[in-house]
Structure 1
Amino acid sequence: MLFAIICIDKPGHEAVRLETRPDHVAYLRQEDEQVMLAGPFLSDDGSAMTGSLIVYDAETLDEAREFAAGDPYAKAGLFDSVTIRPWRKTIDNR
């Protein structure tokens, strides 16, 4: 089952995001069989990263929660909120 992991950064934590980004990207890459897509949310003008969206393939919600909790961004305290929702891909125009 696919899960959308929606993370919103704490205001004023841009330095935490930048410092932790290499570890975050490496963490996602080590799960390349399960990470279907991932990328940052941006500010309205596109100049700053403000959160993350990860679509993760897991057997259970608990497995998706465990993956999200292990993210270096989460461990560094970057996120103000993390929401994990079951998600179904309906259209893929790639």
Structure 2
Amino acid sequence: MLFAVLCKDKPDHIHVRMETRPRHLEWVDGLNEKGTLKIAGPFLDGDDKPCGSMLIIEADSQADAEAIAAEDPYGKAGLFEKVEVKAYKWLYNNPEA
């Protein structure tokens, strides 16, 4: 089952994002290698600066998806103001369909 992980950065925390980025990318690379990751990237503000993140991941359950999301180094570093994990159905342009 697919899940969307929607993360909103805390205001004025770009420094946390930049300091933590190498660990975050290593974590995302690991998800990708395992086949867990389907899509990932940052949200951008009006100045084209990152202000959040979105990942589409595959997990067996909501609890498993939440556990995966909780391992994000950005979250552990206190970057996020809010994280939502929602079941997701990929209808259009799904390469696996």
Could you say which residue in structure 2 is the equivalent of 1:27?
A: 27
CA distance in 2, matches of 1:83, 1:73: 14
Q: CA deviation at 1:75?
A: 0.3
State how many pairs are aligned: 93
Could you say which residue in structure 1 is the equivalent of 2:41?
A: 39
Aligned structure 1 segments of 4 or more residues deviating by more than 4 angstroms: none
CA distance in 2, matches of 1:87, 1:41: 18
Query: Is structure 2 residue 70 aligned with structure 1 residue 69?
Result: yes
Q: CA RMSD in A?
A: 1.2
Between the aligned residues of both structures, percent identity stands at 41
Q: CA deviation at 1:44?
A: 2.0
Unaligned residue ranges in structure 2 (runs of 5+) = none
Report the TM-score, using the length of structure 2 for normalisation. 0.92
Could you say which residue in structure 2 is the equivalent of 1:53?
A: 54
Unaligned residue ranges in structure 1 (runs of 5+) = none
CA distance in 1, matches of 2:29, 2:64: 17
